[in-house]
């Protein structure tokens, strides 16, 4: 399972970087989304995939010795999802405003119009 998730993470990173290097702003946003999803799966993998019990220490024990699911990567992934959603929403609104102003989504055209202003 971990090998499959590592391959999926690599594919998401590769596809995200490929899309971000294109000249279209829409492809840039899609690449940003893919890269964020790849980072979430990477954080999930670093927490070691384990089916286990919740990390609750029984009242009669001082240390948890059973297999348990680590809550820290789960909290980090939830935080990363919220932050990436905000970033994606901002990028989409910014793209809409640029498209209304310039009437194109080509990044080279956006750079040349900036020099004319």
If one compares 109 and 88, the residue with the highest pLDDT of the two is: 88
Give the chain's domains with CATH numbers: 2-116 (1.10.287.3510)
**Which pTM does this prediction carry?**
0.77
* Angstrom distance (rounded) from CA 11 to CA 34: 9
If one compares 112 and 109, the residue with the highest pLDDT of the two is: 109
Q: What's the pLDDT tens digit per position in 1-38?
A: 789 989 999 999 999 999 999 888 899 999 999 999 99
Q: Which residue has the tokens 């840039």?
A: 28
């Amino acid at each position: 399972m971990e090998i499959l998730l590592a391959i999926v993470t690599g594919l998401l990173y590769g596809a995200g970087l490929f899309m971000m290097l294109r000249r279209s702003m829409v492809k840039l946003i899609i690449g940003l989304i893919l890269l964020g999803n790849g980072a979430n799966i990477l954080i999930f993998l670093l927490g070691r995939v384990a089916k286990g019990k919740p990390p609750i220490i029984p009242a009669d024990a001082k240390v948890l010795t059973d297999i348990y699911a680590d809550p820290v990567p789960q909290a980090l992934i939830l935080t990363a999802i919220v932050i990436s959603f905000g970033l994606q929403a901002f990028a989409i609104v910014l793209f809409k405003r640029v498209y209304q102003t310039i009437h194109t989504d080509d990044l080279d055209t956006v750079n040349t119009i900036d020099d004319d202003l």
